[in-house]
Amino acid sequence: MHRYSIDVDGRRFTVDVHDSATDHFQVTVDGQPYTVTLGSSEDLGGTPGAPRIVPVAPAAATASASASAGTTALRAPMPGTVLRIAVAAGAQVERGQDLLVLEAMKMENILRAPHAGRIAAVCVQPGRQVAHGDVLLRFEAASAA
């Protein structure tokens, strides 16, 4: 297994890659498991703006997980169709609780709460197609104690 920290548009993701075969493998992105199948490969020649992948030390992984506690929106990790929503605005949720199901490439992906909190708004409905990064729901801002 390899662990990487990936920064995308200012957001940091911890990605664990579990080698399975040359064309498909298992990855876990911030605790959410996915099966990845490679469709094709191109040599981009180090194009500027290409993702920078840096291995994560265990301490950095812990810091990344605690930083997610400040997340105020759950965004689509991939394009797909919202199948089911398991929460409503005002609901109190625990870290890891099922929030909604997103269908992508004929697979149902359960999206779970990245941290405990209260749902401020559900921004999608079942049947809606979403793009990568679209806001699916918002959490209430954590109060400063």
CATH 2.40.50.100 fits 71-145, yes or no: yes
* pLDDT at 54 (0 to 100): 44
* 134-145 residue pLDDT tens: 999 999 876 554
* 81-104 residue pLDDT tens: 999 999 999 999 998 999 999 998
Domain boundaries in the chain? 1-69, 71-145
Q: Measure the CA–CA gap between 115 and 83, rounded to whole angstroms.
A: 22
DSSP string computed for 55-119: E--HHHHHHHHHHGGG--EEE-SSSEEEEEE---TT-EE-TT-EEEEEEETTEEEEEE-SS-EEE
